[in-house]
Structure 1
Amino acid sequence: MSLLARWCHRHRLAVVLAWAGLLVALGAAVGAAGSDFGNSPTAQNTDSAKATALLRKGAGSAAGKSGRIVWRVENGTVTDSAAEQPMADAVKEIETAPGVTSVSSPFTATGARQISRDGTTAYATVSFEEDVSDAQVAQVKQLATARESAALHIALNGQAFTVNPEPNPVADAMGIALAFVVLLFVFRALWVAVLPIMTAIVGVGGSAIAVMLLSHLVTLSDTTLTLGSLIGLGVGIDYALFIVNRHRTNLMAGMGVGESIAKSLDTSGRAVIFAGLTVVVALLGMLTLNVGIINGMAVGAAVTVVLTVLAAITLLPALLGLIGPRILSRRQRRAQAGPRAQDASGAGTGLWGRWAGRVQARPKTFGLVALVVLAALALPTLTLRLGAADDGNLPATSTNRQAYDMIAKGFGSGFNGPLVLAVDAPTAADKAAAAALARTIERVDGVAGVSAAPMDDGQNVGVISVVPTTSPQSAETSRLIDRLRSDVIPPAEQGTSMKVYVGGPTAGNDDFASVLLGKLPLFVLVIAALGFLLLTVAFRSLLIPAVGALLNILSIGVAFGAIVVVFQYGFGASLLGLGAAGPIESFVPVLVVGIMFGLSMDYQVFLVSRMREEWARTGDNQRAVRVGQAETGKVIAVAATIMVCVFGSFVFGGMRVISEFGVSLAVAVALDALLVRMIVVPALMHLCGRANWWLPRSLDRALPRVSVEGPAEEPARWAGPGHEPETAGIGR
């Protein structure tokens, strides 16, 4: 690492220009190729996936998008000439618009059901060609809304007309501004506040462009960019801060700028690389789930972390070289002659040194209280319900939300998410059984209405549309889906060759949630095992990695508890403009597990690596834990504060799924840094004594040797109870 640091320092202007050239080249490539994001979370081999496949088979080709045009009058009915005439004209124009295959109008004999019983609400369903362009959809929107007036309110929803909220640049700016204020307030030096943010922005900007190009090769959701920005800004600023903080310490100890940069990269730079590796491993662990959209988001986030780490170990040293001693405040430059004062114990005399002493004095009390608080905050996780929030949780100004509310008021909440039963009925007896099934479903609790078009003799695939009495995101709707699959459909299929599958967007989201929830425990175990292995290699210990893995799981529980309370229970969600109470988006917990596990490991690496460095020097566990906690407490607290600012700013970005990430990660990072790393970990390490550093000799020889804090003395090794620690390269 020192060689890389010295090279970047000597060629600092070339390194800065190379990064600028890279951004320009990537930007030009995106300008030519664009992006290709998609939003279709599906789970294979589920009932809803089979329903979709059967319906496509029956149609003879892949079906295109469809959407609803909904209109409502406050006075009179939609069949009055003042409302019917303009909407009938609009429907005729839309029927001949490019990209449109058909329009089901309520002003026909077969469309009477598309007018509400009170006559105030009606809708038309527009079906598009499979390859319809955005411009063609926009033209239909314009034709539909052109007739809106004070007496006739028009809104649109459905897959074709769904408008995904755009990433809010204000959220990014707010997080960056708060991070700048925190850094400036704590370190009282302008460049300390500027350089970490500048490095993170370059890393995130480059990764965003790279992810846009990657979207042509991998299935990526359009939330991947916002998610990458959320993660990249947090870890990018933190990683740069750790290096800058070590560089400042070296300068205050009397080192020259070039020597200090090399030393900082050879110590904190190594820790940054290892910490970034743990985040990448945790993110790529999501590939074990084998879900296309999750795989894509994991790869996109991993690319972001890799580029922020590269910026921290190449661009940052070059910038530090350009800045020179001005990274210190004027007062520090005047007092640069000697190292910072330390007390006799080796720990700083400041706030964190005193706190480390208190934890050492009463480890059982502090550790137990912190664990109880964390367990209580994680308790709501036991009621976690996955699903997909429906349009009823969108802002009231959204056309999708307005259409949802009009449909719910005119036809009932369940009409916003009907269940689509795909029927495979090859024989006449099967067709009769399908008709009987439709009549049976009408009497099932939770069903508001059923419609089934009769099948002709040459038609083997039929559709039964079931309208629930409850909204798409309701738990009652999920229970209705289960009831149909387990209690209603199997008896109807007995004695026939008929096969019936429950599909549609509502059932698809429900199946996707069930698949992910079933795989979540295995995913947690996989990344916990990977994290345990990485920490074992880094710290030559079994106890520290085991404790770290268990505490990381507890931090993840706190993250889940936060989103359950805010989004599922609804406490504070409406005040924050995040919609009403509803299920948690299916893929959010999976991504939170990967992200939070990696971030927790970061803090564990930065904390314990300093403890291990002191253990290697003295062989005194109590001193090592106290000094490590005292000397890393400030920078970990500042780093966590920055992450909370960045993550918290995304809560107000206008995207519910991103807000879920923001709330869960902000709460979990704050408590992980302050309770887990600054109380629980030191307390347990004080109680365990030299057993913290025990590793069987055979395993020690088998594992590769990785120096997280750079070249140092061989650490003391505890051979077990009754044995003094063996040392190599340190005095006894």
Structure 2
Amino acid sequence: MTRGSVTVRVARWSAVHPWRAIGLWLLLVVVAVGMSVAIPKQQTQSKDEWVGQSGQAAELIEKAGLGDRPTETVLLTDPDGPLDKAAATTAITQLQQKLRALDPVQAVGQPVWSDNGKAALVPIELKGTADDAADSIDKVVAATADVQKANPGLTIGQAGNASVNAGVWKQVGSDLAKAEKLSLPITFALMLIAFGALIAAGIPVLLAFSAVGAALGFYAPLSYLFPDGGSVANVVLLIGMAVGVDYSLFYLKREREERRKGRSTLDAVEIAAATSGHSVVVSGLAVIVSMAGLYVAQDATFASMATATIVVVAVAVLGSLTVLPALLAKLGHRVDRPRVPLLWRLNRRIGPGGISRRILAPVLRYPRAALTISALAVVALAVPALGMKTESADLNTLPQSIPEVRTLKALQENFPSQGSLSYDVVAQGDGAAAALTGLQESAVRTGKFVVPAGDAIRQAGGTAVLTLVSVLPDSSANGEAALHQLRGELAPAALGSTTWAVGGDSAESVDYGNNQRDKLPYVIAFVLALTLVMMAFTFRSLAIALVTTLLNLASVGACFGVLALVFQHSWAEGILGFTSAGFVVSWIPLFLFVILVGLSMDYHVFVLGRIREGVAEGLTPQEAVRKGITESAGVVTSAAAVMVSVFAVFATLGMLEMKQMGVGLAIAVLIDATLVRIVMLPSIMVLLGRKAWWPNRLHRQTPEQAERELVSV
């Protein structure tokens, strides 16, 4: 056999020196985990998320030193009715004493009583910047919790940017722990069904989990260049478990198949390296190329996700090419021990591609009808995507189980003027303060804005800032409407030729969502162009590259359509445990697109590789498709089942964004692995015949020649 392939050379070395390969892998994992402990991971700062006009406003405010100190609010209510003023006064006194003793607290204001007599609030001013407040908010929240314990007859809660963010990330951490607990046993159970043996089932799970741990460690130093926006751990677990298991699965299945044909363990490992190992490399590169598209979005959070995903995919590919052959060589036939009798006999009885063979038969017999029906089904699923609404996450998309979210909603109900839809209008130049005074009067006169207590206009040098609060409830639609009124009507009329910008938290949220929508076409173009070139180069076929691109778009379209059907309506609320916000969070479509294009290449490359083997052996296009699909069906089904199960776990989590991501990925992979790959792909390949490999002309070869070509790829 020719040994020119890098994958074969690496696999052979690992198989001949198994203890060295295993030792080096363990050393790699240990060093990576040590890095995660020794090197503190960097988080994104507020300025990393500045975009659009709100970013310009934030920069002007920072340069002028006019930024507000971070604030928090403690809300006191009585769950049994109107607030008992005497009891509330006692609690407020305790609260003021505790908070004033804390180092992060700059000042504690006097209580404000609601007009309806049902609540009171205590304003808190914190020291430093918003980033400083994020680091010290736990102490303030703990003090409020102590006062709550001392006054059980009252409901005492805290809300503010820092505390709400802390509550959200606490929920994310809880969700991540839940996902870890569920995904590992589910994945192992699926591998047990796929292999019918404990050791064979455990190897992919073990390698995937070690790849996730190593990737998180390697990301720690990279976070100084690409700071974590808060979702890195979730994404690494989500993608790492999916691709890590799949890559090992591809390799292990092919090695077992070759051993059943009578090959020695070493020869089986080499053939697996030349075929499945090659597919793993191509699949890994496809995911890396797709994730690199997130850099085009020029967003700090997406950049961190892309970097971490690229790392975990690279580590998973490395593990499947090195330590996996070593383990297979060392274990030999023992990899199929101990067997689970029932599952082992079931696998033997069904045989490779037993179920898919029955589905594939009518597809190959009537390819035009199969393609037409499947295409119509995909289009029907994709049509709702035309009406998909995307908006930024808001208070209504956060789980009501987060105490700070409940407090913030209660605060808005009892104190409308304390609403969280606030805007900072910045003006620069001569007469800036006077111009803002005119804007304040006209905005308040509309009845849609109020001015918070304190100095309405802050100024320093030639820069002035006016803070306005919308009286509307906090929602994406209301936030965008208020911002449009300020930027499109009130500010231009009052400020004229003065340099100005409208920013603030609410404006930043709207600008962020608009930025994602604007960048989506560029990301799509980048990812599709690069994956098309890569597939054309891999298979030496422009037709295969174009077919791959069209099928990827079909899967993505169906995914977006299902997202719109599920999350823009209320029919699935009871099933998935969420309250519909009427839209899909703005960053989800962009993120799902790059992930889906990358992950769909996993089994797509594997299936096409098996079909190509059949064509190279001289089979007719129809027989090559039949052979390729049926021989790869078990692997594809198992790989898709792993992905769907891991992604479905995220659909059970509390955060709506995690639900949308999990449902989107699970549905897309399910559609892609069934309707697209078992019906659309084979019907297209049969209809194209040998033209599918144009301009490459695969000549007829003997099995021995085909094998030598595969090993030398």
Same fold, TM-score > 0.5, yes or no: yes
User: Is 1:399 aligned to 2:403, yes or no?
Assistant: yes
Distance 1:617 1:385 in 2: 50
Cα distance per residue 1:496-532 (max 9 Å; x no partner):
52x4322222211110110110110121111111111
TM-score (norm 2): 0.89
- Taking the TM superposition and a 5 Å limit, the aligned residue runs for 1:164-203 are 164=169, 165=171, 166=173, 167-203=175-211
Q: Return the match for 1:46 from 28, 44, 52.
A: 52
Structure 2: distance between partners of 1:156 and 1:190: 50
| 1:58 matched to 2:64 | yes
Pick aligned residue for 1:473 from 462, 475, 493:
475
Q: Which ranges in structure 2 are unaligned for 5 or more consecutive residues?
A: 1-6, 699-704
Other-structure match for 1:372? 376
Write out the 4+ residue segments of structure 1 that deviate beyond 6 Å after TM superposition. 329-333, 707-710
Cα deviation for residue 613 of structure 1 reads 1.5
Query: What is the CA–CA distance in structure 2 between the aligned matches of 1:41 and 1:380, rounded to whole Å?
Result: 36
CA distance in 2: counterparts of 1:239 and 1:247, whole angstroms: 13
Q: Does residue 658 of the first structure (1) align with residue 658 of the second (2)?
A: yes
Match of 2:4 in 1: none
Instruction: Map 1:488-503 onto structure 2 (within 5 A).
Output: 488-494=490-496, 496-497=497-498, 499-503=499-503
Which residue matches 1:436? 438
Report the CA distance between 1:482 and its aligned residue.
1.8
Q: Deviations over 1:219-239 (max 9, x none)?
A: 222211111110010111111
Q: Alignment partner of 2:551: what SS?
A: helix
What is the number of residues matched between the two proteins?
686
For residue 72 of structure 2, give the secondary structure of its aligned residue in structure 1: strand
**CA 1:327–1:500 in 2, change beyond 3 Å: closer, same or farther?**
same
Partner amino acid, structure 1, of 2:185: A
* Residues 41 and 641 of structure 1, relative CA distance in 2, 3 Å threshold: farther
SS in 1 for 2:77: strand
Report how far residue 454 of structure 1 moved: 5.0
Structure 1 residues 181 and 119: alpha-carbon distance in aligned structure 2, compared to 1, 3 A threshold: closer
Contact kept in structure 1, 2:291 and 2:309, CA below 8 Å: yes
1:633 alignment partner AA: A
- Structure 2 partner of 1:408: 412
Structure 1 residues 25 and 329, CA, compared in 2 at 3 Å: closer, same or farther?
A: closer
Which sits farther off after the overlay, 356-365 or 554-563?
554-563
Give the superposed CA RMSD.
3.1
Change (3 A) 1:93 1:175: closer
- Match among 427, 432, 440 for residue 430 of structure 2: 427
Q: C-alpha separation between the residues in 2 aligned to 1:358 and 1:46?
A: 54
Residues 359, 683 of structure 1: 8 Å contact kept? yes
Q: Take 2:369 and 2:158, find their aligned partners in 1: how far apart are those partners?
A: 59
Question: d(CA) in 2 for partners of 1:26 and 1:286?
Answer: 25
> Which residue is equivalent to 1:721?
none
Partner of 2:540: 540
- Deviation per CA, 1:328-378, whole angstroms, max 9, x where unpaired? 368999xx9xxx999xxxx97833233322211111222222222222222
SS at match of 1:154: strand
- State the percentage of identical aligned residues: 27
Supply the distance in 1 between the matched residues of 2:24 and 2:157 (Cα, whole angstroms). Answer: 49
Q: What secondary structure does 1:711 align onto?
A: helix
Deviation at 1:44, TM superposition (A): 4.9
Bigger mean CA offset, 197-206 vs 62-71? 62-71
Pairing of 1:556-705 with structure 2 (within 5 A) = 556-573=556-573, 575-618=575-618, 620-695=620-695
Displacement, 1:176?
A: 2.2
2:310 corresponds in structure 1 to: 302
Deviation at 1:575, TM superposition (A): 4.4
1:17 corresponds to which residue? Answer: 23
Q: Report Cα offsets for 1:597-630 as digits up to 9, x if no partner.
A: 0011222211111111211221632222222122
Corresponding residue SS for 2:501: strand
Q: 1:350 aligns with which of 354, 357, 360?
A: 354
Is residue 2:156 matched to residue 1:154?
Answer: yes
Matched-pair contact (CA < 8 Å) for 1:417–1:472: yes
Alpha carbons of structure 1 residues 402 and 626: separation in structure 2 relative to 1, 3 Å: same
Cα distance, 1:399 vs structure 2: 1.8
Deviations 1:94-150 (A, max 9, x none): 2342122334x243xxxx5x7454452424143232363777432222222322223
Does the CA-based 8 Å contact 2:83-2:117 persist in structure 1?
no
> Aligned AA for 1:632?
S
Aligned to 1:72: 77
Calculate the TM-score normalised by the size of structure 1: 0.86
Partner of 1:100: 105
CA 1:581–1:331: 2 relative to 1, 3 Å: closer
* Uncovered stretches (5+) of structure 1, i.e. residues with no partner: 701-706, 716-732
Q: Which residue of 1 aligns with 2:466?
A: 464
Structure 2 counterpart SS, 1:207: helix
C-alpha separation between the residues in 1 aligned to 2:366 and 2:571? Answer: 36
Residue of structure 2 equivalent to 1:251: 259
Whether contact under 8 Å (1:266, 1:709) holds in the other structure is no
| In 1, Cα distance between equivalents of 2:209 and 2:353 | 35
Cα distance between partner residues in 2 of 1:55 and 1:597: 41
Shift in alpha-carbon separation, 1:456–1:598, aligned structure 2, 3 A: closer
Q: From the superposition, tell whether residues 58 and 688 of structure 1 become closer, same or farther in structure 2 (CA, over 3 Å).
A: same
Q: What per-residue deviation string (whole Å, max 9, x for no partner) do you get for residues 267-318 of structure 1?
A: 1111101111100010012212222221121111111111111111111111
Alignment-mate amino acid for residue 545 of structure 2: P
- Residues 449-478 of structure 1: CA deviation (Å, up to 9, x unaligned): 344835488664444333334443332321
1:207 partnered with 2:215: yes
Is 1:275 the counterpart of 2:283? The answer is yes
Residues in 1 aligned to 2:269 and 2:16: alpha-carbon distance in whole angstroms:
11
Relative to structure 1, the CA distance from residue 395 to residue 284 in structure 2 (aligned partners, 3 Å threshold; closer, same or farther) is same
Q: 1: distance between equivalents of 2:115 and 2:381?
A: 46
Distance across 1 between alignment mates of 2:262 and 2:352: 18
Name the structure where helix makes up a greater proportion of residues: 2
Q: Report if the CA contact (8 A) 1:2-1:262 is conserved.
A: yes
Choose which of 80, 85, 88 in structure 2 pairs with 1:83: 88
Over 3 Å counting, the alpha-carbon distance change for 1:40 and 1:621 in structure 2 is farther
| Cα distance in 2 for residues equivalent to 1:317 and 1:449 | 68
Instruction: Tell me, in whole angstroms, the C-alpha distance in 2 between the residues paired with 1:398 and 1:88.
Output: 26
Matched, 1:711 2:709: yes
TM-aligned CA distance change 1:478 to 1:69, over 3 Å: same
Q: Deviation per CA, 1:154-182, whole angstroms, max 9, x where unpaired?
A: 11222221221214323123222222222
The secondary structure found in structure 1 opposite 2:466 is: strand
Distance in 2 (CA, whole Å) between partners of 1:271 and 1:297 is 24
